[in-house]
Structure 1
Amino acid sequence: METDDFDTLDVLSVASSGDDTVSNSVDYSGVQMCLAYYDMSGVRHHVFSQVDKNGYASIPLPSNYASGDWFGFILLKRSLPPAGKYNVQVHFASNTFISYGGSSLWFSSHYNNVHDPESSFGVTGTYSSGDFYLSSNVSIGASAQQFNISNWLKSDTGTPPWGGYVSISFTKLSNDAPVQGGSPGTDNVDQDINQSISNNTAQQVEQGDTIIELIKNTIQTISSQLTAFWNQLAGEFTNLYAKMTQQHSEQLQADRDNTDDIIAADNANTDKVTGAIEKHGNFIIEGLKSLFIPSDEYFKSWFDGMYQFFNDRLGFLMLPVDLLVRMVDIYTSAGSSSVGIPFPEFKWMDGTVIIPGQTVQFDFLNTDWGKGIQDKLYFVGNLIMIGALLSLMHRKFEEVLRN
């Protein structure tokens, strides 16, 4: 009977104990080495070790280790292939002795708002001095979250530390290929894929809503920060404008004060200059006056001297002149009263008045003729004064020239 490739893929592949030709196809970042063990109280614990990029991992001896339960590897979501049927092969090369009593594969899936379902089934493995090789056809659903490869430990196995290199490979099978087991919900792969798509869509919508909400919150935060910034900026400008206005007012007031001070200083300087000019003018006038006029009584003394000079030489001939001078003096000193010569009264010892006191009036001075005589007397007096002034100036010039 003829066979084809599909028939060959349907056959369960079991490698011999010496077959280690498994080419790794998974992302090691999602693969962890795991040891399940019991402590002295019978409580089960798990310890994990991340597989590095070369496929190596090791687990030290836990401090509370009493006995082993199972040893193997865990594949997380990012290390699993897309939904479908696959042949999975696992090869582990141990660097220490481990005694295995059988193997199983375990799956868990995730659906929104329900408990995560689980499924497991036993597989036949090949073991040698701690190494093991497993191969099985499995069905992986779109909702599969975790895939465990477990090897049960015998009681005569050694104790950790355990370590070594692991290689895991998934090979795609046809949709009608038989499988030994798979993740929960893979009886109808199409339905599981649709459910996964629905879950992913709902998750994406939820993530989209979350993103939209984050964007809204971010925009609101930015808007609030901008509002606060503009309010702060407006407040700063308001304060700055107020300070500038205050400084401008203070500067104007200072300018006014300075202007008043300058005006006051100018006035003081003007007063000083004016006073200096007046003092200087007075000094010059007083100097000229003292130069030509020896004293304020000079003309009176000169006139008295001249009068005495003529009186000594003319004798009684000076009487008419004397009377004329007295009459003029009386006239000029009388003001608005009549001009006259007063005569005292004569009386006896017993008080009998012989000649009463009287004043002989010179009414003729009030006539045109008298006024003419008065003007002529003024003219003569002016000539005398001018002559005296010229004589004085002549004498002073002679004194200056001689000195």
Structure 2
Amino acid sequence: MMKTRKLLCMILVAATISCFSSIPSFAFSATASNALTATSSNALPMEEYLQFDEFDILERPALLMSSDDVVNTVDLSKCRLQLGYYDMSGVLKFKNVNFNSSGYASMSLPSDFASSRYIGFVIMSDALPPAGKYNMSCHFGSNTGGFTYSRCYVNSRKQVGNADTQLSGKDVSFSQSSGDVYVNTTIDINSGLESVGVLMYLTDLVLPYGGYLSVQFTKLSPGASTDVGTAGGSYTPEDAASDTALNTSKMADTLEEIAQTISNQLEALWNQMFNLMHVPQLANDDKNTGLITGAIEEQVEADRQNTEDIIAAEESNTTTIINNNNENTEKITNGYDNSALNAENDKLNNSLTEYDNAEKQVMDKVNHALDDINFNQSLDNYMQPILLCSTFMQRLYDNSGGFKDVINLTLIVSIASIVVGIYRFKGGD
């Protein structure tokens, strides 16, 4: 009996040791696969050839303690996992990855990564609660683990229109365990914030890095004191009045849209009721309208036919008149006796021909006489009397006074007459 009990105890101890020794191996496999599958778009070359099944994915990491559970109150898809790191040249750079709706995100290794400065999560404006004072509880459960954070820093950003971006931040206390981190602090959220970040500083971060996020905001009284202020200062009564006015304006716009929607629906309902009440009358009106339209179309067709008949008759009459006129014109033209007129025309043509012949004979005699004129003397003998006559005529012209215009006109007419006469003597027409 004692041997049996010892044997059973040894088997139980061996089974217990085996179970505890397999837990680290199983956790490592699950977390590694989860990080790789969540970053398939940023996977390392070797990771593209790895395959995982449903048993390799860790649904949710274990919390630090049962008392650390955080009931999520924000849209986690509006949050980012942010890495601050130095590149090979010592330049500080940043990389952001969005959390999914389940609150999971994984950060892959940047190509120019040299060392880490911080890793943390940023709550964007769409995920922040309205302006006011809150208790903020955050839990990030890392499924890659094995890190030690040196400090936790809560910062905020506010973009002021046409001005610089306002920044604010403060170190806060936190709890950590193998990469998991828990932050519980009070914060005064101002209106118009661009983001609130919770950053854990460390220098020995090994990537890829991933995990699940939960964030809970609990409203505090307006007079409560807070550990962390945000960019732009505390939430003042003036900010509250401004937000109230903005919310009132939005509410008025919403009410206007609702009223417009109701009006459109009432109009549609009225149209339906009107159609139901007047459809028979409309059908009867359509029938009567069709009869009237048909009668009008028949009358129009009859008038058109009559018009075409009148036009055809007018064309026939016009053609007959034109033919009669052509026939009468032909009779008048061909029936007239113009023999006497033709005889007189012939006599006139003969007389003109005889006159032309006689004139030609006279002109031939004159031209022959002109051709026979010879200048046997020298040019000087002819020029002396001409010069003497010319001198006399010039003096007479110079002393004629106002009679010069008559002399000039007479001379021009004489010269023109001589030119015309010579032209006619030479046989010109």
Q: Same fold (TM over 0.5)?
A: no
Query: TM-score with structure 2 length normalisation?
Result: 0.42
The structure with more helix, counted as a fraction of residues: 2
Query: TM-score with structure 1 length normalisation?
Result: 0.45
Pair member with larger Rg: 1
